Amino acid sequence: MTTEIDDVVWESLREAATAAMARSYSPYSKFPVGAAALLEDGRVISGCNVENASYGLTLCAECTLVGALQMGGGGRIRAFYCVDGAGAVLMPCGRCRQLLYEFRSPQMVLMTSHGIKTMDEVLPDAFGPENLENQQ
C-alpha cells in the first residue's frame, strides 16, 4: 500500500532509499544505509553511507544525499526517508538531523519508525542560519 501526504509518495521514496542502500560502502560495520528525499521541485535525490577505516571519517547516507543535492543544483527537501540493510525505517542521528534542517523546506516531513513527523518534531528548538542572522 502507498501512503501519501499531499503529493508525497512514500513508497517511491522507500524504493529510492533502498536502491541507494544497495550502493553503500560499509565493509567495517556491515550496516548499509540508504536515504532518499523529495525536493520542492519534484526531483528525488538519494545517498548512501560511505565508511572509512578510521571510522570517524565515515559519511552518513544523509551527508552524501546533501552532497548530491548541492551537486545537482541545490533545492530544498520536502520529504525524507532512510532505511537500513533490511529495509527498515531509520531515524537520522542528531548530526544528520542538523544537516537535514539546514536544507529543509518549511514543510519538510520525515518518515520515522513512529510514522511521519515534521523537522520541528524530530529536532525541536534547532539552531540554524536564522540564528546567525539574528546575531549580526
- Catalytic residue positions? 62
Roughly what angle, to the nearest 10 degrees, separates helices 94-102 and 61-71?
20
Q: Tally the C-alpha atoms within 13 A of residue 73's C-alpha that lie toward its C-beta.
A: 6
Would you state the cell numbers that stand for residue 105, as one nine-digit string? 523546506
What residue type is 83 in one-letter code? V
- Compute CA distances 56 → 8, 10, 51, 97, whole Å: 34, 31, 9, 18
Judge contact between 8 and 109, C-beta under 8 A: yes
